[in-house]
Structure 1
Amino acid sequence: MTSEYNERPTTDQIRRAPKVLLHDHLDGGLRPATIVDLARETGYQNLPETDPEKLGIWFREAADSGSLERYLETFAHTCAVMQTRAALVRVAAECAEDLAADGVVYAEVRYAPEQHLEAGLTLEEVVEAVNEGFREGERRARENGHRIRVGALLTAMRHAARALEIAELANRYRDLGVVGFDIAGAEAGYPPTRHLDAFEYLKRENNHFTIHAGEAFGLPSIWQALQWCGADRLGHGVRIIDDIQVAEDGSVRLGRLASYVRDKRIPLELCPTSNLQTGAAASYAEHPIGLLRRLHFRATVNTDNRLMSGTDMSREFEHLVSTFGYTLDDMQWFTVNAMKSAFIPFGERLAMINDVIKPGYAELKSEWLFRSVTQVPTTVCDTAADQG
């Protein structure tokens, strides 16, 4: 990419850069030590490992195993220890803390309330506990000199029949910490059109929603999410690349659906590491994000499941910087894209861009200019492999 600031950012600069996260699952981002603690407190005895370090390795290896059954097993363990109010408050607070420490200034974190009812909580109690945890995490982050705002996305499971109920729940807690709605789960066999009543309800209420689409199933899933359901954003949407043809001479031709997505500025919630784990790309170099960035799609960078992927926003950007030679300008482009696409009011998005994001990157770029003038050597961001 061409850039006035043509030097790759250092690992420290990537970490300090303000970042925006739109696609992160609460039950996919627990600290391994917290899982062990909560399992002990609740009497859950089915953890594959009780040493936090070994447990973290197990989650990452299970996610990389290529076995869908083993991958889904990982969420069975995290959800199992997230069944009490205290556990939900703790997990949500730590989520906000961890994101803030990673330089995230705004995040939308999603979870399925229906998966946290086994110990007797109501849907409303689940939402209120998670919201309380996010506010506590924001407070702790401020005490540590970090700024973050976290909004919740309530998720309904594609294979279940509670989407309208969860959509109504999201609307009741709108402006009280919940910023939108989502559906998740296996795409194949469970099209979003099964939940049209929920999406029609949300549209009548002028509420926001994203849909997991185009992660594994492909273009039909994306088409249905947009044209039948009216999604504001695409959760992943990485398979839009199937509607883009690149000729041997480098020329590019967009199909009708890809053109629509680009022309309408439909945000793509891309999750590079997770997409590699699920087979959407064979390597970071082959990930569609490079082409989508070049073609100016509304691409954003996300984590999906930080625990299972052994990642965070800084690591995701480190991979992209190392692979595509991205600069601070590119990081800012992805970050502004994400903030433009957030489910909070326009004025609040604009304030975040102008008062937090742009000044944050301007400060980092001024460091680059100072080094250029003084010719102080810098260390380029290590390769993704070196970063572990």
Structure 2
Amino acid sequence: MTSETPNTPSPDQIRRSPKVLLHDHLDGGLRPGTIIELAAQVGYDKLPESDADKLGVWFRDAADSGSLPRYLETFAHTCAVMQTKEALFRVAAECAEDLAEDGVVYAEIRYAPEQHLEAGLTLEEVVEAVNDGFREGERRAKANGHRIRIGALLTAMRHAARALEIAELANRYRDNGVVGFDIAGAEAGFPPTRHLDAFEYLKRENNHFTIHAGEAFGLPSIWQALQWCGADRLGHGVKIIDDIEVAADGSVKLGRLASYVRDKRIPLEMCPTSNLQTAAAASYAEHPIGLLRKLHFRLTVNTDNRLMSGTSMSREFEHLVEAFGYSLDDMQWFTVNAMKSAFIPFDERLAMINDVIKPGYAELKSEWLFRQTASTSGSVSA
């Protein structure tokens, strides 16, 4: 356990804890029932299952292949039913509701506008429909007693040639729901340097961007994302472990790239369950997040694709608590890291940390201490 106070959280406390999510794909988090209903509305007849529960299982099984390209194939079905304003609005609203129900208080949700144009929508119509959906989801969450704020990240696909166009789109909407830019898709054969014009444009505009790097490829992908492109954060970045040596006596030596990432406090958007599915890690217990946490890298915990991974922020933390004995203090550390690394203004990040996150964890720790004290005195059963 990395904390001096052995305040191991229960599943209920994990669910109620304030959480921050920086890496989650809109088209990877649909409710199975919503997919079925939207497919019927647009006449999409290629779904592998017509029952919501069975469809959810199919997505998880199909994604659990150990291959990133195979994992990405599952998105053909979700994108197929996200081609109208109404569908995009619904999916975005339900995303906000689902995250808020899980205790997420701030989230940056990414999606690729270029993948939602098949029915004739413009890029602007896609962005506005999603933004409207997020605002509606925030209102519904508030009505149900939950607090959440959603910012959008506009993603360009690595294999396409629209990165500059999407970067310009992100910049036009930067004060209207969009907080940054990203590139996604298969890493091998599609290095981030193919899109240097987009990144140079964003830097000139003083805008934020993250880059999927170091998930399926390796250290060259991370190096290019940082040194050629200037990424603010790394999407996944799990392969940074390849630049760290652990000797037989337990001593650790960081290579120059790993040292640079740690020294510069570059946030790593870790997605443990997704990494297992794409063979970037062998198990939760063997996931590099354990060592990287001990070495004090700027780590954040994320879901990546909640549908394909059958996960949530609470489930991700449950796995880490079980694998590494993490405490409420550790959860707070990951959460504050994520909020520090968000693409909203500093004063707004600070307010979230001081007014929402820290008080939320303080309450949970007091609750844990009370139960432990009462249990020891015999006034409350264990």
**Superposed pair shares fold, TM > 0.5:** yes
Letter paired with 1:33? G
State the identity %. 87
- 1:77 corresponds in structure 2 to 77
- 1:114 corresponds in structure 2 to 114
- 1:336 corresponds in structure 2 to 336
- 1:352 corresponds in structure 2 to 352
Letter paired with 1:38? L
- Cα contact 1:5–1:365 (8 A) shared by 2: no
Is the aligned partner of 1:49 residue 2:83? Answer: no
- 1:244 corresponds in structure 2 to 244
- Cα contact 2:66–2:276 (8 A) shared by 1: no
Report SS of the residue matched to 2:60. helix
Report SS of the residue matched to 1:319. helix
Letter paired with 1:357? I
- 2:33 corresponds in structure 1 to 33
Please list the CA deviations of residues 70-128 of structure 1 after superposition, one character each: whole Å capped at 9, or x if unmatched: 43331000000000000000000000000000000000000000000000000000000
- Cα contact 1:30–1:91 (8 A) shared by 2: yes
- 1:284 corresponds in structure 2 to 284
Please list the CA deviations of residues 128-157 of structure 1 after superposition, one character each: whole Å capped at 9, or x if unmatched: 000000000000000000000000000000
Letter paired with 2:312? D
Q: How does 1:209-224 map to 2 (within 5 A)?
A: 209-224=209-224
Q: How does 1:258-269 map to 2 (within 5 A)?
A: 258-269=258-269
Offset at residue 308 of structure 1 (A):
0.2
- 2:62 corresponds in structure 1 to 62
Q: How many residues align?
A: 378
- 1:273 corresponds in structure 2 to 273
- 1:384 corresponds in structure 2 to none
- 1:309 corresponds in structure 2 to 309
Offset at residue 373 of structure 1 (A):
1.9
Please list the CA deviations of residues 310-362 of structure 1 after superposition, one character each: whole Å capped at 9, or x if unmatched: 00000000000001000000000000000000000000000000000000000
Moved more, 307-316 or 4-13: 4-13
Please list the CA deviations of residues 254-275 of structure 1 after superposition, one character each: whole Å capped at 9, or x if unmatched: 0000000000000000000000
CA distance in structure 2 between the aligned counterparts of 1:220 and 1:282, rounded to whole angstroms = 21
Please list the CA deviations of residues 276-312 of structure 1 after superposition, one character each: whole Å capped at 9, or x if unmatched: 0011111001000000000000000000000000000
Q: How does 1:92-103 map to 2 (within 5 A)?
A: 92-103=92-103
Offset at residue 374 of structure 1 (A):
1.2
CA distance in structure 1 between the aligned counterparts of 2:29 and 2:42, rounded to whole angstroms = 19
CA distance in structure 2 between the aligned counterparts of 1:2 and 1:157, rounded to whole angstroms = 38
CA distance in structure 2 between the aligned counterparts of 1:67 and 1:232, rounded to whole angstroms = 27
Report SS of the residue matched to 2:39. helix
CA distance in structure 2 between the aligned counterparts of 1:272 and 1:123, rounded to whole angstroms = 32
Please list the CA deviations of residues 28-81 of structure 1 after superposition, one character each: whole Å capped at 9, or x if unmatched: 000000000000001000000011010000000000133555433310000000
- 2:164 corresponds in structure 1 to 164
CA distance in structure 1 between the aligned counterparts of 2:340 and 2:270, rounded to whole angstroms = 15
Gaps of 5+ in 2: none
Per the alignment, do residues 69 and 225 of structure 1 end up closer, same or farther by CA in structure 2, a change over 3 Å counting?
Answer: closer
CA distance in structure 2 between the aligned counterparts of 1:71 and 1:47, rounded to whole angstroms = 16
Letter paired with 1:319? H
Letter paired with 1:215? E
Letter paired with 1:142? K
Gaps of 5+ in 1: 379-388
CA distance in structure 2 between the aligned counterparts of 1:302 and 1:128, rounded to whole angstroms = 25
Letter paired with 2:351? A
- Cα contact 2:68–2:216 (8 A) shared by 1: no
Report SS of the residue matched to 2:74. helix
CA distance in structure 1 between the aligned counterparts of 2:254 and 2:69, rounded to whole angstroms = 35
Report SS of the residue matched to 1:155. strand
CA distance in structure 2 between the aligned counterparts of 1:306 and 1:258, rounded to whole angstroms = 29
TM-score (norm 2): 0.98
- 1:368 corresponds in structure 2 to 368
- 2:180 corresponds in structure 1 to 180
CA distance in structure 1 between the aligned counterparts of 2:288 and 2:69, rounded to whole angstroms = 26
- Cα contact 2:211–2:231 (8 A) shared by 1: yes
CA distance in structure 1 between the aligned counterparts of 2:229 and 2:129, rounded to whole angstroms = 30
CA distance in structure 2 between the aligned counterparts of 1:39 and 1:143, rounded to whole angstroms = 29
Report SS of the residue matched to 1:253. strand
CA distance in structure 2 between the aligned counterparts of 1:36 and 1:119, rounded to whole angstroms = 18
Moved more, 3-12 or 275-284: 3-12
CA distance in structure 1 between the aligned counterparts of 2:69 and 2:329, rounded to whole angstroms = 40
CA distance in structure 2 between the aligned counterparts of 1:212 and 1:299, rounded to whole angstroms = 15
- 1:17 corresponds in structure 2 to 17
CA distance in structure 2 between the aligned counterparts of 1:68 and 1:365, rounded to whole angstroms = 39
Letter paired with 2:361? Y
Q: How does 1:370-385 map to 2 (within 5 A)?
A: 370-375=370-375, 376-378=380-382
Letter paired with 2:106? Y
CA distance in structure 1 between the aligned counterparts of 2:306 and 2:75, rounded to whole angstroms = 12
- 1:153 corresponds in structure 2 to 153
Please list the CA deviations of residues 141-199 of structure 1 after superposition, one character each: whole Å capped at 9, or x if unmatched: 00000000000000000000000000000000001000000000111111100000000
CA distance in structure 2 between the aligned counterparts of 1:73 and 1:210, rounded to whole angstroms = 23
- Cα contact 1:5–1:368 (8 A) shared by 2: no
CA distance in structure 2 between the aligned counterparts of 1:297 and 1:71, rounded to whole angstroms = 27
- Cα contact 2:83–2:116 (8 A) shared by 1: yes
